[in-house]
Structures are given as structure tokens and as C-alpha cells.
Amino acid sequence: MSLNAYITEARIEGGDGPLASKTVAVKDNISTEGVRTTCGSAMLAEYVPPYDATAVERLLDAGATIPGKTNMDEFGMGTTTETSAFGPVENPAAPGHVPGGSSGGSAAVVASGAADLALGTDTGGSVRCPAAFCGVVGIKPTYGLVSRYGLIAYANSLEQIGPIAPSVAEAAELLEVIAGPDDRDATTHDARDHGTDYEFGAAADGDVEGMEIGVPTELLDGADEAVVDQFWAAIDELEAEGASYHEISLPSLEHAVEAYYVIAMSEASSNLARFDGVRYGTSGGYDGNWNETFARSREEGFGEEVKRRILLGTYALSAGYHDKYYKKAQDARAWVQGDFDAAFEDADVLASPTMPITPFEMGESLDDPLKMYLADANTTPVNLANLPAISVPIGDGSGLPVGLQLVGPAFGEKQIIRAGSALA
């Protein structure tokens, strides 16, 4: 049975280094020189980048072999990998269910063993959700830790490239390879300027003795019972290893999903304006003027979810609605950031279920976009606050994979890796 996890299978051989003999699959929105990069969209079905993303360059320099480009929700817009123009991906850990999204293909190849490791991208949970749904590990780095050069943008202020792996230690080692400042992405930071270093692999020592874990109650309230049971079992395990926990309330998190979607859609409406069928992308050579031709090429090249988000983003930025939606969403973003800052005064990491639910059945959420958006309640606050987070597998809820999310302060990757490695 094919999982449909790759859009393009093409072997790209790396040099020699710490990842020699490892295969690292790459999500299809990360540019690979000479190998087509589609973003899961008909718009870019034939697009072949003339250069490598910085993260890809670093993989190859580290000796990795790239076995192919993985399937994804179109332009990263989805929580199930069902919006791909190349068809849905099957979850190898839960047949008949979605693998999560948008990096569903990357999580599926790691979970099935088709690749040793993979890169995904996380704008509102797109690494952590599929990691949780497929029973593997995924890390969303601090904003600015990993270069976005060559990542085809969806929502620049929120997204990061992140590793997916079978274990926390392997995910940490892959993060070590791709992290670091890049003069081609002005938003990157050097972790060493923030009181830490890049020794992520060494941080996976499982030592949680004396660690204080905060549990935001807002992120448990709407979760399925089976998920909550697994969550507390994992907290018990961390307690047994020497950590302690306390519950906290972060009221801003109640508004994170809507703030996230307003900001992400607004940025998307601007970012995706570049797909005009002239420099790249679908073009029919239609008759008519520039505006008409442009609109028709986008009608043909974009799928339904992408159109929905471009339109809602255009609306949210428009005169008369900008203050009501976009400006309020920025207020909410600042509020979420403030709440997290306060929480980290008394906690080393914060814990929640990664997803409030177990994987959807295939097709279940396709006709109800709002239902799909609400599933991102626990992951989106982290992107709004630019923080690092990891999802680690913590067993089954009613026979389906469940993930634990651990959130750290900015550039606190080593803390979440250390905590996560006590479990997986």
C-alpha cells in the first residue's frame, strides 16, 4: 500500500559529515536546486528552483541523502494533508486516518521508516501536529533559529523549518545541523547571543530532576478525554523522574486560534500575490488584460483552501476591517506573548497535549474548515509568541497516537529537548 507521502522521489546525495548514511526527506515547500518544488499546489506543479534553501545546503553539507520531496497541504494551509493537489496521505500509524498537517508527508515517511528523518515547516503547528498524529517527534524552533531562505513563504512572521524524527535525540541532532544565522535571512539570530549554544544533541540526556513544568489549563479544557488521560500519564512519568508541575491559567490562549488565522491569512494574501503565471506558475496563455489573465491563472492553479485563505486575508486587511480584525489580532498576539513571559517566571517548560483530538478520519474535516482550524488551538499560541516547542509521542488514546507538547522560552530548545528525551 502506498502512503502517497512523496510528491517527487529523487535522490540528492550529500557530502560527508554527521548525517552521512542518513536519509532526510524534505517537505515540498523547501527549495531544492534542480528538483521540482510544488508546495503541494497545481500552481507550482512544474516549478524547478534554481537554488537550494539554506536548510537544504546544510543537510547536504552534513552528508545527508535526500530521498525525495514530501507531500503537504497546499502551501502549508491545512491540518490534515488533504488539501494537497497531489492527493491525501495515509497515516502509517493509524490506517484510515489523516497523518495531520501540513507536513503530513514528512511525518508519514519517518513513521513508516521510508526515511530516517525529515524536515517539515511549522506556521501554526504543521510540524507538531503530524508528529503527534503519526507517533513521532517534531520540533518547532524559536523564530529566527533556522534560516527561512528558500522556504516558499506562506506567513513569514510565524513560520520556521523544523525536524521530524523517531526519537528526541535524533530530532535534536538534525536541528543542530540546520540551525544558525544566515545573512540571506535577516530574521535569523545567533543562539549564542541569547545565552545558549547549539549543542542540542547533547541536551537529550533525559535529566528532568528539579525541572518545573507549568500546565496551562486552557489547553486541557477542550481536549478529548482519551487525550487528557494520556497527557496526565505522561506528566506522572516526568514526576517520577524528578520533575514537578503546577497548573496555571493563561487567559489570552482562548483567543490564539482566531488571532493566528487572521494574521496567517493576511500574510498569505500578500505572499501569494506573486503567483501570477508570468515568472513561474500555471499560465494558460489566456486572452485578455493582465488582471483578467492573472485572475484566471490563479483560479486554475490554486485549490479551495488556498483561495479561501487569500480571500479572508484580503478582507481582513481591507479598509474598514483592518482595525477590527488585523489590529485586534496583533493585540492578541502581544497578549499571548505577555502571558507566556509571565508563565516562564515560574516554570522551565510548559506542557499540554499537542493536539486536543486524536487523528481525524480521512475526509472528516474537509467540508468544515472552521472545525479544522479549531484543532490548532494548542499549537498556534507558540507561533504567535515566537517560542520553541516539541511534540513527543506518549502512547495511544483509544488506539490512536497522542502527542505531548512541551513549550520553552525563546531559545530554550535545550530545555524542551531535555524534558522530551525523558519520554521518547
Partner 1 sequence: MVVSGGIFSESESRTETLSARKTFPTGMSDSDVGPETVEHIAELARVELDEEERTLFAEQFEDILSYFETLDEVPETDREPELTNVMRPDERRQSLDQDEALQNAPEAEDGQFKGPRVS
SS3 of 47-76: the string is: CCCCCCCHHHHHHHHCCCEEEEEECCCHHH
Show contacts with partner 1 in window 271-330 (CB under 8 A): 271, 273-274, 276-283, 285-286, 288-296, 298-299, 302, 304, 307-308, 310-312, 314-322, 324-325, 328-329
Show contacts with partner 1 in window 155-184 (CB under 8 A): 156-157, 183-184
Residue 212 CB, nearest approach to partner 1 (Å): 25
Residue 32 CB, nearest approach to partner 1 (Å): 14
Give the C-alpha separation, 329 to 258, whole Å: 7
Q: Which is nearer to partner 1, 140 or 148 (CB)?
A: 148
Residue 35 CB, nearest approach to partner 1 (Å): 13
- Per-residue binder mask for partner 1 (CB under 8 A), 134-153, x = binder: ---------xx--xxxxxxx
CA 105-23-395 angle, 5° bins: 55
Residue 66 CB, nearest approach to partner 1 (Å): 20
H-type helices in 62-167, by residue range?
104-112, 128-134
363 binds partner 1 (CB under 8 A): no
Contacts of 205 (CB under 8 A, 6+ apart): 418, 421
Q: Which is nearer to partner 1, 160 or 230 (CB)?
A: 160
Q: Which is nearer to partner 1, 59 or 110 (CB)?
A: 59
| Edge-to-edge strand ranges of the sheet holding 244-248 | 6-12, 66-70, 24-27, 117-122, 160-165, 137-140, 389-397, 400-407, 349-353, 212-216, 244-248
Q: Residue 11's CB: how many other CB atoms inside 10 A?
A: 10
Give the C-alpha separation, 322 to 270, whole Å: 14
Given 41, 84, 103, 126, the catalytic residue: 126
Show contacts with partner 1 in window 39-68 (CB under 8 A): 46-48, 50-51
Say how many residues touch partner 1, by CB under 8 A: 85
Residue 194 CB, nearest approach to partner 1 (Å): 12
126 is catalytic: yes
Residue 137 CB, nearest approach to partner 1 (Å): 27
Q: Which is nearer to partner 1, 98 or 262 (CB)?
A: 262
Given 31, 41, 102, 103, the catalytic residue: 102
Among 83, 102, 380, 386, binds partner 1 (CB under 8 A): 386
Q: Which is nearer to partner 1, 235 or 316 (CB)?
A: 316
C-alpha cell at 260: 493566528
Task: Report helix, strand or coil for 208.
Answer: coil
Q: How far is CA 129 from the centre of its chain?
A: 7
27 is catalytic: yes
SS3 of 242-283: the string is: CCEEEEECCHHHHHHHHHHHHHHHHHHHHHHHHCCCCCCCCC
Show contacts with partner 1 in window 226-265 (CB under 8 A): 252, 255, 258-259, 261-262
Q: Which is nearer to partner 1, 159 or 173 (CB)?
A: 159
Give the C-alpha separation, 87 to 82, whole Å: 7
Given 22, 27, 69, 414, the catalytic residue: 27
140 is catalytic: no
Show contacts with partner 1 in window 81-110 (CB under 8 A): none
Q: Residue 368's CB: how many other CB atoms inside 10 A?
A: 10
Which residues belong to the active site? 27, 102, 126
